[in-house]
Structure 1
Amino acid sequence: MKRLITAGLMFGNLIEISSPALVERYNRALKHLTGKTTALSDFHIDISGYSPEIGDEFGDDHYLNPNGCNRQFILLTTAQKTAPLLNIKFSTSRGILRQFIEANEAQLFALTARDAVAGELANSVYEVSTPARLFDIRKITIEADTIGSHVRDARKLGSLIDRFRNEPDGWRDDLLIADMIGLAKKTGDITRVPIALPVMNFEQANFWTSHFGGFYIFRDVAFPGVITTLPKAGLGALPVSPLMDLRQRNEIADWLARNNLVEPVVQARGLDAGALLRQKMDFILVDAADALNLELGQATRADLRKIAQRLGSALPQEFLGLAALLRWVEGGGEWPRITSEHPAYFYTLRARGHRDRDLVNMLLAELAPLDVRQMYIVHKELFYATYATWSDRKRGYVADFLEREYKVDKAGARATLFGPEPGMDDAAPPPDTVAPVGPWGSIRRGAR
């Protein structure tokens, strides 16, 4: 992982905390939430205030998320909104935190100028001992305050001011006035500079969770479904069906098509399909060459063509399927019929532009694991776990590629590959009469 960290591909965009004042505020918040403090004088934090250095110090990467389903957070600066979220348990958590910060940015800017803000992504579930418990998670609530309780005191001061104004003898109530003065010393003049952090609620209908090896839960679609990364046997009864695992390629393809969640990359508007297919083929060749212990050279396209020639009939089916599609794109071949049983099938798809676009692309990254660029962009947890299993040769190629081709323009690369960012209100399009047969023709339904 050191290569990724050096290249800024892991732990990138974290917020550095090095001033004694901020370290002291963080420790106050940490003591308040966990009962612990750090001895470090400088460290880095993510959007939730989690620090990998402090996690290493404590020997606990989940010190702000001990139960795995109610993540606590510490805000020292509104700049945290651009930081990543590490050790993700739910795919929605970073988006919820960012929305909370952006919706209350002015208030948080004023509050973090004097103290740390702490809170929790709370739901009614406090443990997930069985997969069925995941389906009880439907709403996430955020309620936050400074460690010095400035928001609570401002709310209390506001009610005292109302009493002072509305009670006939309020101006003669010395105890009331003394309480107001005492609170105002902490909060300042809230009549001119109001202090408030509203309780915010967020629906969690469709999401991915790392619990139980990985679950994709879709409840707010035309045809609900659940997809598990591990074999589905032994998971017990679940309130949403069908339950599929990644080995059920036909069933997943059929379900995606019926919900109109994906589109062929060759039909995506504004996408250079030829360039995208060539890059996917390069990734597949690198993996095949690495598996056979072949030297990659400089891994230029010319080097990879030589590897393809050496492999000959041993070329992976994923490569051959994409090559046939590329020939059609460039006008030199027939339209290929790539069924859901073909290893190349999920490499030919991307999510449509709806509010769950990133979640669907996460799922496609699991179904098309040789496309390392897509995996890195949309599913970093999977990418880091997979990266650890590669040879040093492949690690070097992938890290160099991502640093050279993706890091220089992350937003541009995402827009090019996946289209413009969808709005939160962009629901999945309704099923149509074409989608159920799949993008390449009828989906073959093998043994289930």
Structure 2
Amino acid sequence: MKRLIEKGLMFGNLIRVDSTAWVGLYNRALKKITGRETALSEFHIDISGHSPEIGDELGDMDYLAPKGAERQFILLTTEQKTAPMLNADLSVLRDVMRQFITGNESQLFSLTARDAVLGQIDDQVWQLTGPADLPNIRRLTVSADTTGNHVAEADRLASMIEKFRTEADAWWDDVLIARMIEQARKSGDVLRNPIRLNRTDFEVPDFWTAGFGGVYVIRSSKEAAMIFADPAQAVEVKGFLSLTTGDRHKLAAWLARNALAEPIISARGADAGPILRQKIDFVLADAAVRLGIGAGDGGRAGLRRAAGRMGADLPPEVRGLAALQRYAEQGGDWPVIDSADPAYFYAIRATPGPARDLINRLLSELAPHDIRQLFITHKPLFYRLYQTWPDDKRAYVAEMLAREYAIDKQGTREALFGPEPGMREPGAPPAPARAGSGPWGSPRVSLSEAGLPRPAGPWGE
């Protein structure tokens, strides 16, 4: 993992804590949450305040998210909103933390100027005894205060002020007035500088959890589904279609019926040729390492020479992807690709919508040799697999990601997956899909049977 860290591909964009004041504030919050403190004078924290250095020091990488408990957080600065989230067992946690910070930024800026803010993210589900309980997670609530309870003190003063304003005899209540003055010394002027945290509740229509072997819960689509990475954990849940990542045909049909994915070759704004060529490179690099065939420096020329020596061992994904690439760059007859083809899930991407990022994460599991998409959309799985790869493949992957992704993250994401989603409210239903739309259509009907002319584009409309 050291190679990834050195190239900024792991623990990147963390917030550096190196001042005595910040370390002291962090220790006060850490002591209150866990009963422990750090002896480190310098460390880095993520969006939730989790530090890999402190986790290593304490021998507990989940010290802010103990097993079976809610995710806790420590905020030293609102700049943490730009940091990643480490060890997230729920895919929406970082997005919720980011929205919480940006939605309460002025109040949090005021609070963190004098103290650390600590709190927790509550899924409002007391216990998850099995995968069937996951759909109960519908909303996440963020509760927060400083180590000095500034938010609670401000709420107490605000309550007294409301009583003073509304009760008829409060003007003559000397005890209430004295209490208000004393409370104001603790909390400041809450009328001119209110510190009430307003945006604390967040809808969670879709999410992925690391629990139970990895499960996707997708409710925003027309047909809700739960998708299990571990077939042994799969259960039937009322109101959900139950699938596993091994159900390739069923998954392809579900994606098509709900218009959740589209062919890269016909996706709006996608430069399909270079994208498909790069995917071929990833597949060939993996095969070259697995077969012990030298690929030079891992460049395209070396990979093509390695492919020529693979013979019958040439990965089947390459044939389908190469056919798509030729069509994208040269035209001619459009290739027939269905879910039985190993190239199928490499050749599609998620359509715009509330579940877009989650569907792209799912596709990275179904097309695991596309290590760039895997790294971008599913870092927990990427890091886990990275530790199992031979050193040659690790070196190639780290160099490729540093060269072609790290230098322009936003541009690469837009080129691969399209522009970021718009400002539609979370949970709003997606635009209705036309019957039979989606990648390669839903029912397979031959063109001659339908009496239709041959389409000009790939897989028809």
Fold match (TM-score > 0.5): yes
| 2:63 counterpart SS class | coil
Residues in 2 aligned to 1:13 and 1:443: alpha-carbon distance in whole angstroms: 50
Cα deviations across residues 399-441 of structure 1 (Å, max 9, x unaligned)?
0111111111111111111111113436433232232673598
* Letter of the structure 2 residue corresponding to residue 358 of structure 1: D
1:138 Cα offset (Å): 1.2
Aligned to 1:248: 247
Cα deviations across residues 351-385 of structure 1 (Å, max 9, x unaligned)?
01112110000000000000000011111011101
Check conservation: 1:340, 1:443, Cα contact below 8 A.
no
Residues in 1 aligned to 2:327 and 2:169: alpha-carbon distance in whole angstroms: 86
Residues in 1 aligned to 2:445 and 2:185: alpha-carbon distance in whole angstroms: 69
Instruction: Write out aligned runs for 1:161-310 (5 A).
Output: 161-167=161-167, 170-198=170-198, 200-231=200-231, 233=232, 235-310=234-309
* Letter of the structure 1 residue corresponding to residue 398 of structure 2: A
CA shift in 2, pair 1:236/1:363, >3 Å: closer
Cα deviations across residues 27-79 of structure 1 (Å, max 9, x unaligned)?
11112222222222221111111111111122212111114562111111000
Aligned-CA RMSD value: 2.0
* Letter of the structure 2 residue corresponding to residue 301 of structure 1: R
Mapped pair 1:152 → 2:147: no
1:162 Cα offset (Å): 2.9
TM-score computed with the length of structure 1 as normaliser = 0.94
Residues in 2 aligned to 1:53 and 1:182: alpha-carbon distance in whole angstroms: 41
Aligned to 1:20: 20
CA shift in 2, pair 1:5/1:443, >3 Å: farther
* Letter of the structure 2 residue corresponding to residue 294 of structure 1: I
CA shift in 2, pair 1:69/1:32, >3 Å: closer
* Letter of the structure 2 residue corresponding to residue 139 of structure 1: R
Q: Which moved more, 1:395-404 or 1:50-59?
A: 50-59
| 2:405 counterpart SS class | helix
Check conservation: 2:224, 2:241, Cα contact below 8 A.
yes
* Letter of the structure 1 residue corresponding to residue 90 of structure 2: F
Mapped pair 1:316 → 2:318: no
Mapped pair 1:429 → 2:428: no
1:397 Cα offset (Å): 0.7
* Letter of the structure 1 residue corresponding to residue 436 of structure 2: V
* Letter of the structure 1 residue corresponding to residue 83 of structure 2: A
Aligned to 2:73: 73
1:144 Cα offset (Å): 1.2
Aligned to 1:61: 61
Aligned to 1:368: 367
Residues in 2 aligned to 1:146 and 1:62: alpha-carbon distance in whole angstroms: 22
Aligned to 2:407: 408
Aligned to 1:85: 85
1:132 Cα offset (Å): 1.4
Structure 2, unpaired ranges of 5+: 447-461
TM-score computed with the length of structure 2 as normaliser = 0.92
* Letter of the structure 1 residue corresponding to residue 285 of structure 2: V
Residues in 2 aligned to 1:311 and 1:286: alpha-carbon distance in whole angstroms: 12
1:443 Cα offset (Å): 9.7
Residues in 2 aligned to 1:319 and 1:443: alpha-carbon distance in whole angstroms: 26
Check conservation: 1:119, 1:144, Cα contact below 8 A.
yes
| 2:293 counterpart SS class | coil
* Letter of the structure 2 residue corresponding to residue 291 of structure 1: R
Check conservation: 2:236, 2:242, Cα contact below 8 A.
no
Aligned to 1:110: 110
Check conservation: 1:70, 1:126, Cα contact below 8 A.
no
Q: Which moved more, 1:418-427 or 1:113-122?
A: 418-427
1:268 Cα offset (Å): 1.1
CA shift in 2, pair 1:236/1:348, >3 Å: closer
Residues in 1 aligned to 2:445 and 2:214: alpha-carbon distance in whole angstroms: 25
Residues in 2 aligned to 1:335 and 1:125: alpha-carbon distance in whole angstroms: 50
Cα deviations across residues 300-357 of structure 1 (Å, max 9, x unaligned)?
2111111111113321110111001111112254211111011100000000111211
* Letter of the structure 1 residue corresponding to residue 32 of structure 2: H
Tell me the matched-pair count.
Answer: 443
Residues in 2 aligned to 1:413 and 1:194: alpha-carbon distance in whole angstroms: 41
CA shift in 2, pair 1:389/1:428, >3 Å: farther
Residues in 2 aligned to 1:131 and 1:234: alpha-carbon distance in whole angstroms: 7
Aligned to 2:454: none
Residues in 2 aligned to 1:441 and 1:208: alpha-carbon distance in whole angstroms: 29
* Letter of the structure 2 residue corresponding to residue 330 of structure 1: E
Q: Which moved more, 1:175-184 or 1:286-295?
A: 175-184
Aligned to 2:450: none
Check conservation: 1:277, 1:322, Cα contact below 8 A.
yes
Structure 1, unpaired ranges of 5+: none
* Letter of the structure 2 residue corresponding to residue 104 of structure 1: N
1:181 Cα offset (Å): 2.2
Cα deviations across residues 211-259 of structure 1 (Å, max 9, x unaligned)?
011001112321111110011x454442343211111100000001011
Residues in 2 aligned to 1:436 and 1:408: alpha-carbon distance in whole angstroms: 33
Aligned to 2:417: 418
Check conservation: 1:141, 1:199, Cα contact below 8 A.
no
Residues in 1 aligned to 2:379 and 2:390: alpha-carbon distance in whole angstroms: 18
Aligned to 2:139: 139
Residues in 1 aligned to 2:354 and 2:124: alpha-carbon distance in whole angstroms: 24
Q: Which moved more, 1:91-100 or 1:332-341?
A: 332-341
